[in-house]
Amino acid sequence: MRLLHDIDLGYCTNIHRGETWEETFSGLRDYTDQVRERISGENRYGIGLRLGAKAAEQLSSNQAAKDHFRRWMDERNAYVFTINGFPYGTFHGSRVKEQVYVPDWSTPERLEYTNKLFDLLVELAPEEKSLSVSTLPGSFKEFITPENEAGVIRAMVENLRACSQHMESLREKTGKDLHLGLEPEPLGLFETTPETVRFFEALHDGATENESAHISRNLGVNYDTCHLAIEYESPEEAVSRLRNAGIRISKIHLSSALCLKPSAEAVARLGSFQDEVYLHQVVVKKGEDVTERFRDLPDAIEWFERNRNDAGDEWRVHFHVPIHSQPEALFADTRDHISGILKLLGDEPGWCKHFEMETYTWEVLPEEIRSRDVVDQIVAEYDWCLGEFRANSLA
């Protein structure tokens, strides 16, 4: 929906299953439309679309399906303003884990897919001035070795520059502000804001003045509040570091991480959050320092059994928990990072206009903290987030 200062707010439809276009549209029809009816009132309703590679290919080659989707949105006073282009393939119901980073930005497949998403956005949202796609942070750290690092980074830079050129071509034809947000994530190629700044320096290194200007305009960061909170970065330092480096903040994912004090009881309960679908990276802090990083919950829990007396002061877990409520008594959350981001924006509106709630983990949440109906959960998250926007004079 459109808020003050031309802010667009939606929820990411990656919470619903859908790999084909037919499955994706079924989710929009069966769930998103219910949310719209309960949330938007007379306001236009903004859709944060997840479109995997299979669905994107099917929709791209089917003019009748595109026309039908546009009519469907027009009848509901709805519009697409952003696409989540991070998950390329299957995202629900089977093992995703590190495969969510495949193909990465060193491959032509990732470039072709992302260009296609921008082509579709331009066609599906002809009235919208600003359109965004979010994507992975280059690759997964474990995919990079000392032997392949230089070649992989070089290929990523070439492909991202080519994507910027494609966006620039579309911008010249349509007059639209198109922007791609790379999403720092725990154990991604870049996960902290200092690592992100270094990667963007590589994007600009050796570029012509004109190319560099296009990169700054077209390529930016998708700032996920869960991910940066897991890294123990404050909103003030993270946003300041990115903006001072001249990096555009393309979109902000409003999401909340699971955090806990590592007692025996809390870690035992944490075991119920393990699943076979997603990675749940864990970052451990002791005093003022990050001391351990784990790729998934079983690794962290096994380490705790050997280090009970020196397991750190706090754990933060890459598990997107419902935004509107505390998980349960043994755990806390990182909603304060969302509040901090919106306070910064309220003090200086305009530096980011695309916002998307993203709690894709609904299917794998323990039943005790999951709403029985996914629509009820999404509506509750809207209510909480809109309250924060209003508190900062943004809605």
CATH number at residue 10: 3.20.20.150
Q: What is the rounded CA–CA span in Å between residue 307 and residue 330? A: 20
Q: What 3-state class would DSSP assign to 355? A: strand
Q: Which tokens hold the place of 133?
A: 């796609």
Is the residue at 119 inside a domain? yes
The reported pLDDT for the residue numbered 311 is 98
Kindly state whether residue 319 falls inside one of the protein's structural domains: no
Please check whether residue 80 lies inside any domain of the structure: yes
Total Cβ atoms within 10 A of residue 127: 7
| Predicted pLDDT of residue 243 | 98
Mean per-residue pLDDT pooled into runs of 10, the chain (395 residues)? 97 98 98 97 94 98 98 97 98 97 98 98 95 98 97 98 98 97 98 98 97 98 98 98 98 98 97 96 98 98 97 98 94 98 98 98 93 94 98 98
In a domain, 142, yes or no: yes
The reply to whether 262 falls in a domain is no
Is 107 exposed, middle or buried (CB count within 10 Å of its CB: 0-12, 13-18, 19+)? middle
Whether 269 is in a domain gets the answer: no
pLDDT of residue 130: 98
Single-letter residue type at 89? G
CA distance 29 to 120: 19
Please, what is the Cα angle at 336 between 331 and 341, to 5 degrees? Answer: 150
Domain span including residue 377: 4-255+334-391
Does residue 150 form part of some domain? yes
Residue 387: closest CA among 324, 300, 301, 306: 324
Give the total number of structural domains in the chain: 1
- Asked whether residue 341 is assigned to any structural domain, the reply reads yes
